[in-house]
Structures are given as C-alpha cells and as structure tokens.
C-alpha cells in the first residue's frame, strides 16, 4: 500500500539546509531514499497491516521534529545533519522483513535472534500473525542495524574519502531507539571523527528518540485510513490513541526564557483512551528528562533547553477526568511485602534467597548444556551459605546466571515485576520452569538483615555490579566494574541480624536448609568460618536407602509428566470376601423390624449386599456409659451444661462402643441424635435395649451415623474397602504419628500443603509421599507456603491417581483383585489430566 506523504524530500528543513551549503552528502542521501522508499511504504504495511504507519511520511515528520528539537541546525556538522536524516529514514527499516526471513523465523532457524518463534507463538495463544508481528517488532531496531550494515555500507561514506564510512555508528544510532540511555552511553561515544567531519552519535540517538516519540497525531493515523484498515484489539487502541492528538506543532518556545516546551492538544471521548494518552505523555516526559540529562555537559551546540514536563490540553467529551492518580508509598508497601504478614516466619527470607539461587543455577545449567561441546566439562551448579561471625557477614552465594544491567533495572529494582514472568524470559523457552512469580521475593531478605549488598555478574558479560540497599529506604547505589573472574551472585547480609532469626544457632540454619530444598545435582554447602566447619546440604529426591520389609515404591514420574518423586506404600488390609472381615468398631449388633435388636454371633447368615447401598454401608456407632463410668459422665454433663458431645469426646477411652447395622433400605433414615431414657431409634430399638446390654439408666448418650465404603468386585464375594477424605472422624479412631508427606515446587518445599487424596483404597497404606512439581502451570501463592484451592485439589487428584495405578502394578494381587482395583480407578479417577503419561 503506497501512502501519500505530507512532505516531499526537497521540502524538509534538514535537506534544505544541506542544499544551502551545497553538501556533498546529498547525492548519497537521494540514492538511499530511492532504495528504501518502496520498502517503507509497501513492505512494512504488508508485514504489519494493522500497525500505525512506519512509512516515509513518518520518517519525514521525524526529520522535521529533529530540526525543531535542536537549538540551531547551522551549528551542527554536515555529517551530523546527514546522520539525523539517515536515522529518521532507516530506524524502522527492520520491520520490512523479507519472505525469506519470515520463513526462517517461522522455522525457528532465524540466525539473527535467539528468540524462538515457536515460543512467541505460544505466548500469543497460537495466533501466528500476531506472533510474527510481535517477534519482528521486538527486534526490528536490531534488524534495522543489520540492514544498514549489509546493504548500505558503500553509500554511507565520506565524500572523496570512500574508504571512510560511518555505517557502524548509524546502525547503532538506529538500534538505540528501542534501547535505554545506559545502552546509549555504553555503545555510542560523544565525539567521532571521519576525515574533516566530526559528529556526536549520542546526541543524534537522543534526538531520534525524541522525534520518534513525538510523532503522534492525525498525520500518522489519518482518520480515513483508520476506517479503511479497521484495526482490531491492541492496534485499534493504538490508532485511537494517536488520533486523539490534534496539534502538529508540538514544540513551542517561551519568548522570555527561550526555553522550549512540548505541548499536546486534543480531544477524547473515551476515558480509557484518555488514560492511555496520559501514559504515553508520561513516556515523553521521561524521554525529555533522560535526553536533557544525557547532553548536559556537552558542547553548546548540543544543548536541549527544555521544560521536561509536557503541557497537556486535552478536552473531554461525555465524561470528566481528574488529575488524581493512584500512588504507592514505598515504605508502607515494602514493609508489607517484606514482612511476616505474608511469609509467616522471618526464616523464610532465607528460603526466598536460596530459591533465587536454585532458579539461577538451573537456568544456567540448561543453557550451558545446550552449548557444551564434546569433551568439555559439564557446568556444576553451586550454592554456598557462608557464616562469617568475625566479619559480621552472612553470604548466600551461587554460580548461576547472575544479572545484567537490564535485568537489574527492569526487574530486580522494580518491585512486583518478575523477570521469570517477563516476555524476555519466556521467549527463551527453557525446559526448567522457575518458581519465582511475583517479583517480590528478594524483599524478604530484609527479614534477615537491615542492610543488604548484592554482587552480581551475568555469566555472558564482563561487567560486575554491586547493589547496596537498606531496609525501608527506596534509594540504592549501583557500582559497575569489570571482573570476569567473579561468577554468579552473592547476597551479603548482616550476620548478627541473620543469626538472630535462627535463635543464634548455626545448626538451626543447617536444619532449615536440609528441610526446605531438594538438592539433586546441586553442590550445596553451609560454611561456618568461625567453627571451621563445612556441612553438605544433601536432600535428593532420588531415594537411595534400602526399603524396609513390606514397603514398595511407586515412582511418580512413571505415571506423571513434569512431576518427579515417589510414594512408599505397604499392604494394610485384604479385600473383603466375607461379612466378618468388615471392620466395625466394638461389638457388632444388627437390627430389623421383624427380629428387633440382636448381637451378631453368626456372620455366615449375613450377606454384604443386604447392607450396602451405592458403595456405602451406613451404621450406628453408640457409646455405652457403664456403671464404672457413670459418676464421671454425670459430673461432666453438669460441668459442660449438658453438652453430650464434649463429654463423650473427653471420656472416649472410658466408654464402650458398639456398632449397629441395619438393612440398606433403613439407612436413609439414620441421623445423629441424642438418646435419652424412654426414647427410641426404631420401634424395637432404643434406650431400653441399650440398658439391657449395660448402659446406665441415668446417663444420656448419642447415636452417631458412620459410613464404611466398599467397592464391589463380585456381589457378596469380593469388595475393595476404600476411604473418602471427607469421611467424618470419630472419637474411637486413634491418631498415628504424621508420616513424611511433602510437596516441593521446583525443588522448594511448599510447607503448608497437606496431601489429602480424594479417594483411597484401604488395602494399602501410603507412608511417604515426596513430590516435586516442575510444571509452570502450578504457581504457589504469594507467600510460597501453599497453593490455591483449585490447584490443591488437582495435585491431590493426580498424585492419588498415580499412586493407585502404581499400586495396581507393584502390589501382589490376584487376577480378580487386580481387576477390581482397576475398575475402582476407572470409577473414581476417570478424569484425564494434562499431566498423565
């Protein structure tokens, strides 16, 4: 699509100036323009049909803004003006990717970028068009630099000195328009010389950025073109955003002070678009502030005398708008996020720091493994916790990826912005999925120390950074040095503050580390310099000790994806084949209306099917208060104001419990109820019958409805007993000591999670569950102590299903018994999850 432009080349202020001085650069400028104009006017719109215009009209307007932004273009060198023209013309040329590049990108074989298109497509929900546009948009400045280097070097030369070119600097200037000012200062200089010409690349980069961001008005998004294209979604918002600005002249001069100001006029009929415009103007303010700071101290011709706060005059229609906005108070927010209100214990600050180290080491390990050559030593992840009482230091040290300046600024110092949630990270599509999610974890270090220092170097960089922070203070210091020997990250804390959290006992630090982390493949040490002791932290998920007799192991990774670990089970009870094998607590009685209330002394006359209803046998459990317990029971009732439940609970061991079964057609009418003298449960069964078997006539009692669950294999011949987690607990079930059942996510313990398997076959007992979830689909809550209820249910379901399938494979079962267990699994674990193999 060819777009008419408001300017012609000969009309542009910068071109006119070069003509006025008969500049020898003009012929090459015309050649470059002829080479790229069709690419900009047609190819960019072909690849980005719904984007705001990046055509020659956009380039020409940027040139005009450039001429207005500088104080006096006559004070700049010919080459500086030439570079401004070229940068305006070429900074977006990288958006015009070729079909060859597009095919390479889609095949994940584009050599110019480490990002995988498949990862971008995944982030974009499978939309290939949006994925391609976002892929190219993210790297288009670099692609512009590539185009300049590969296609224009013979034209970007000094007249009469064609061996001298400025290709490199122009490419970097164009790349700079999507970078930040630290990048500009690191990659561009303030004075370059080619032949008789000098130029200031930093200044030109700043002017390009300012001019580019100011091109927001109806010229860039003509209304007729807006209607023709009908952009959708985000692009639609962007077009509307541009269209609200009505003034072309955005730079005005205060005649008294000669200070320039950026002014925006416009009209908005939508509060959402208005808010977006104000965000955009906020970017302009930041750009002005950074640009003026960059040129401060440069020679006079590079001065930018600007009011850094833009003037905004936007009329509203159909709504009112205030100047008020939501703000956050650093001290209050940081105090909330770094305290025990979220984490529950100060010691968990150490968990957060170690988790950061684990993530960093695992990411580097995967990267190093991908590029390792044959015969090269494998990277060994290392984490050290160093206690140095003499120097009053506690150090958490790792040899992971370390941090670059970009990561420090965008994520580490930006509370609530997680690097591992950023598109920059997700596009790398690592197999390892870090646990970090909320971008606040590092703040927890202030639960361990009032002052914190962070030393870090990204393993692909030569620059090391020292960041110094203080609790409750938003200001930091950042020192940059070169140090290729330093590796990874060190977090340096105050030893006195740190050890107080662990009751001044280094052994408590050791116990904490042993409990909270899985250490497979990690060289993990606690070093106590004062005691001259080095303790290995060794808690692998791989079970290396021999199994006790009768214990069998189920490997969870045999049945689940992205989940590793094991469960240890042992036989608990057999399948039910006869009525007497059903476990009814206490003496068993039976009742029906014909025979009344009778003790069961001959089980052979009972059929299980007569008493089971929809896999359940409901029965009555009743405590008898016999003569030796009568006085205590009466006293308890007086003390509790006749709270029979409380008295029964407290006297549980002193009472005699009986069980009463009734035919399945009776079971629907059973209910928990208090039973007093002369009251009945059925016509021929009540308080009087309980007195006949030893219950005190002076004491009330209570009838509890209990349930036994049985899964039918063969009617009256084979049943699988099972439990539901919502089963009502009773007073006569004794608690056993809690066995080890732990859930880890990416090797970090989720301390408050409790395994609660929804349905469990009672033929085996699960003694130990150690599970480590590596899938990013499961995210701990903000405290990292638990997960949300929906995730908790899913974890329990899929672990429960894996254990039952494993039990079916490893337990010694007869053919009919195995078939029954398989049918049980199909009945209660019929849902297929995304994690099953």
C-alpha dist (Å) from residue 739 to 140, 804, 823: 57, 19, 29
How many CA atoms, within 13 angstroms, populate the side-chain half-sphere of residue 228? Answer: 10
Q: What is the distance between the alpha carbons of residues 461 and 484, in angstroms, rounded to a whole number?
A: 8
* pLDDT at residue 225, as a whole number: 43
The mean pLDDT of the chain is: 88
Residue 411 tokens read as 């994520």
| Other C-beta atoms lying within 10 Å of the C-beta of residue 534 | 12
Residue 700 dihedral angles phi and psi, to the nearest 5°:
-70, 165
Q: What is the distance between the alpha carbons of residues 445 and 435, in angstroms, rounded to a whole number?
A: 17
Residue 827 dihedral angles phi and psi, to the nearest 5°:
-80, -45
Tens of pLDDT, residue by residue over 70-99, are 989 999 999 999 999 999 999 999 988 889
Q: What is the distance between the alpha carbons of residues 488 and 371, in angstroms, rounded to a whole number?
A: 18
**Nearest in space to 425 (alpha carbons), one of 116, 110, 781:** 116
Asked if residue 590 lies in contact with residue 584, where contact means CB atoms within 8 angstroms, the answer is no
Tens of pLDDT, residue by residue over 447-466, are 999 999 999 999 999 999 99
Residue 554 dihedral angles phi and psi, to the nearest 5°:
-115, 120
240 φψ region: left (φ > 0), alpha (ψ -120 to 50), beta (else): alpha
Q: What is the distance between the alpha carbons of residues 600 and 597, in angstroms, rounded to a whole number?
A: 10
* pLDDT at residue 400, as a whole number: 94
* pLDDT at residue 410, as a whole number: 85
Tens of pLDDT, residue by residue over 625-664, are 999 999 999 999 999 999 999 999 999 999 999 999 999 9
| Mean pLDDT along residues 211-229 | 59
- The continuous run of DSSP H or E covering 564 comes out as strand 563-571
Q: What is the distance between the alpha carbons of residues 405 and 402, in angstroms, rounded to a whole number?
A: 10
Asked if residue 493 lies in contact with residue 452, where contact means CB atoms within 8 angstroms, the answer is yes
Q: Bridge-partner residues for 723, per DSSP? A: 760
Q: What is the distance between the alpha carbons of residues 487 and 400, in angstroms, rounded to a whole number?
A: 8
- Model confidence at 50: pLDDT above 70: no
DSSP state of 266: E
* pLDDT at residue 439, as a whole number: 64
Residue 205 tokens read as 């980069």
Tens of pLDDT, residue by residue over 533-592, are 999 999 999 887 888 899 999 999 999 999 999 999 999 889 999 999 999 999 999 999
Tens of pLDDT, residue by residue over 121-171, are 988 889 898 888 888 888 999 999 999 999 999 999 999 898 999 999 999
Tens of pLDDT, residue by residue over 174-192, are 999 999 998 999 999 999 9
C-alpha dist (Å) from residue 639 to 630, 631, 646, 702, 812: 14, 12, 10, 18, 53
Asked if residue 579 lies in contact with residue 821, where contact means CB atoms within 8 angstroms, the answer is no
Which has the higher per-residue pLDDT, 445 or 319? 445
Q: What is the distance between the alpha carbons of residues 294 and 764, in angstroms, rounded to a whole number?
A: 72
State CA 739 to chain mean position distance. Answer: 31
Give me the DSSP letters along 401-453. ----HHHIIIIITSTT--GGGSHHHHTT--SS--S--SS-GGGGGGGT-SEEE
Task: Indicate the range of 323-337, 381-395, 461-475, 583-597 predicted with least confidence.
Answer: 323-337
| Share of the chain residues as helix, strand and coil, in percent rounded to the nearest 5 | 40, 20, 35
How many CA atoms, within 13 angstroms, populate the side-chain half-sphere of residue 36? Answer: 31
* pLDDT at residue 12, as a whole number: 93
| Other C-beta atoms lying within 10 Å of the C-beta of residue 22 | 7
Residues in the chain: 837
Angle at which helix 201-214 crosses helix 56-69, to 10 degrees, equals: 120
Tens of pLDDT, residue by residue over 199-218, are 999 999 999 999 988 887 55
Q: What is the distance between the alpha carbons of residues 130 and 121, in angstroms, rounded to a whole number?
A: 8
| Mean pLDDT along residues 516-526 | 95
Counting residues of the chain whose pLDDT is more than 70, the rounded percentage is 92
| Other C-beta atoms lying within 10 Å of the C-beta of residue 156 | 23
State CA 478 to chain mean position distance. Answer: 27
Residue 227 banded pLDDT, cuts 50, 70, 90: very low
Counting residues of the chain whose pLDDT is more than 90, the rounded percentage is 63
Rg from Cα positions in the chain: 38
Longest dimension (CA), the chain: 124
- Model confidence at 234: pLDDT above 60: no
DSSP state of 237: H
Give, in degrees to the nearest 5, the angle at Cα 797 between 795 and 798.
Answer: 70
DSSP state of 694: T
- Model confidence at 229: pLDDT above 70: no
Residue 39 tokens read as 């690419």
Q: Bridge-partner residues for 530, per DSSP? A: none
- Model confidence at 710: pLDDT above 70: yes
Tens of pLDDT, residue by residue over 400-448, are 999 999 888 888 888 777 877 777 877 887 888 787 665 677 888 889 9
CB burial of 503-523 (b: ≥16 within 10 Å; e: otherwise) equals: eeebeebbebbbebbbbeebe
Q: What is the distance between the alpha carbons of residues 154 and 162, in angstroms, rounded to a whole number?
A: 8
Q: What is the distance between the alpha carbons of residues 624 and 629, in angstroms, rounded to a whole number?
A: 9
- Model confidence at 361: pLDDT above 90: yes
- Model confidence at 222: pLDDT above 90: no
**Nearest in space to 164 (alpha carbons), one of 199, 200, 201, 194:** 194
């Amino acid at each position: 699509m060819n777009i008419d432009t408001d300017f012609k080349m000969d009309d542009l202020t910068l071109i006119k100036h070069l003509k006025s001085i008969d500049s020898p650069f003009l012929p090459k400028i015309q050649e470059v323009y002829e080479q790229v104009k069709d690419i900009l006017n047609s190819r960019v719109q072909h690849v980005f049909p719904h984007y705001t215009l990046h055509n020659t009209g956009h380039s020409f307007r940027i040139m005009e803004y450039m001429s207005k932004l500088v104080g006096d273009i006559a004070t700049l060198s010919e080459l500086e003006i030439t570079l401004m023209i070229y940068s305006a013309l070429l900074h977006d040329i990288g958006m015009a990717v070729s079909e060859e590049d597009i095919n390479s990108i889609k095949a994940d074989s584009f050599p110019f970028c480490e990002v995988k298109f498949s990862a971008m497509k995944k982030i974009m929900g499978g939309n290939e068009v949006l994925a391609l546009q976002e892929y190219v948009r993210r790297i288009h400045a670099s692609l512009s630099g590539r185009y300049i280097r590969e296609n224009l070097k013979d034209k970007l030369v000094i007249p009469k000195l064609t061996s001298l070119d400025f290709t490199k600097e122009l490419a970097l200037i164009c790349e700079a328009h999507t970078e930040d000012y630290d990048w500009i200062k690191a990659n561009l200089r303030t004075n370059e010389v080619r032949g008789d010409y000098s130029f200031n690349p930093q200044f030109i980069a700043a002017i390009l950025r300012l001019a580019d961001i100011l091109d927001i008005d109806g010229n860039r998004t003509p209304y007729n073109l807006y209607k023709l294209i009908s952009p959708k979604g985000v692009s639609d918002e962007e077009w509307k955003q541009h269209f609200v600005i009505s003034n072309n002249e955005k730079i005005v001069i205060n005649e008294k002070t000669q200070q320039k100001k950026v002014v925006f006029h416009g009209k908005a009929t939508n509060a959402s678009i208005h808010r977006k415009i104000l965000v955009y103007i906020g970017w302009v303010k930041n750009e002005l502030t950074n640009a003026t700071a960059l040129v401060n101290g440069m020679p006079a011709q590079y001065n930018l005398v600007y009011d850094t706060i833009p003037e905004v005059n936007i009329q509203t229609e159909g709504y009112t708008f205030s100047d008020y906005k939501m703000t956050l108070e650093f001290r209050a927010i940081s105090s909330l996020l770094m305290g025990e209100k979220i984490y529950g214990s100060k010691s968990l600050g150490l968990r957060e720091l170690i988790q950061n180290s684990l993530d960093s080491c695992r990411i580097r390990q995967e990267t190093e493994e991908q590029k390792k050559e044959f015969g090269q030593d494998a990277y060994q992840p290392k984490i050290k916790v160093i206690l140095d009482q003499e120097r009053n230091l506690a150090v958490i040290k790792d040899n992971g990826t370390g941090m670059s300046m970009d990561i420090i600024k965008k994520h580490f110092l930006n509370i609530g912005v997680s690097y591992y949630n950023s598109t920059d990270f997700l596009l790398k599509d690592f197999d390892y999925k870090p646990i970090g999610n909320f971008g606040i974890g590092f703040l927890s270090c202030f639960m361990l120390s009032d002052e914190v220092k962070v030393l870090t170097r990204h393993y692909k960089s030569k620059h090391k950074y020292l960041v110094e922070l203080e609790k409750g203070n938003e200001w930091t210091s950042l020192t940059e040095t070169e140090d290729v020997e330093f590796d990874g990250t060190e977090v340096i804390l105050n030893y006195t503050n740190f050890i107080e959290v662990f009751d001044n006992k280094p052994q408590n630090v050791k116990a904490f580390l042993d409990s909270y982390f899985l250490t497979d493949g990690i060289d993990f040490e606690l070093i106590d310099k004062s005691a001259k002791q080095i303790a290995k932290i060794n808690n692998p998920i791989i079970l290396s000790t021999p199994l006790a007799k009768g214990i069998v192991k189920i490997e969870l990774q045999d049945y689940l994806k992205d989940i590793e670990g094991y469960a240890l089970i042992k036989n608990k009870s057999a399948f039910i084949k006869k009525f007497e094998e059903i476990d009814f607590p206490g003496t068993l009685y039976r009742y029906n209306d014909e025979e009344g209330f009778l003790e069961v002394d001959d089980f052979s006359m009972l059929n299980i099917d007569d008493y089971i209803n929809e896999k359940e046998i409901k029965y009555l459990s009743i405590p008898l208060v016999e003569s030796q317990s009568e006085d205590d029971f009466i006293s308890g009732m007086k003390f509790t104001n006749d709270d029979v439940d409380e008295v029964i609970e407290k006297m549980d061991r002193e009472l005699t419990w009986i069980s009463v079964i009734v035919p399945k057609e009776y079971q629907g009418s059973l209910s928990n109820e208090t039973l007093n003298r002369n009251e009945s449960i059925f016509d021929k069964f009540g308080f009087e019958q309980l007195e006949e078997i030893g219950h005190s006539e002076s004491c009330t009692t209570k009838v509890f409805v209990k349930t036994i669950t049985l899964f039918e294999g063969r009617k009256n011949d084979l049943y699988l007993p099972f439990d539901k987690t919502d089963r009502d607990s009773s007073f006569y079930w004794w608690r056993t000591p809690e066995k080890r059942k732990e859930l880890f996510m990416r090797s970090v313990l989720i301390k408050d999670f409790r395994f609660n398997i929804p349905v469990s076959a009672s033929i085996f007992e699960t003694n130990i569950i150690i599970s480590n979830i590596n899938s990013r689909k499961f995210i701990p809550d903000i405290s990292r102590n638990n997960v949300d209820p929906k995730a908790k249910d899913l974890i329990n379901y899929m672990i429960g299903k894996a254990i039952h399938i494993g039990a079916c494979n490893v337990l010694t079962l007869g053919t009919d018994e195995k078939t029954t267990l398989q049918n049980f699994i199909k009945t209660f674990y019929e849902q297929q999850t995304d994690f099953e193999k």
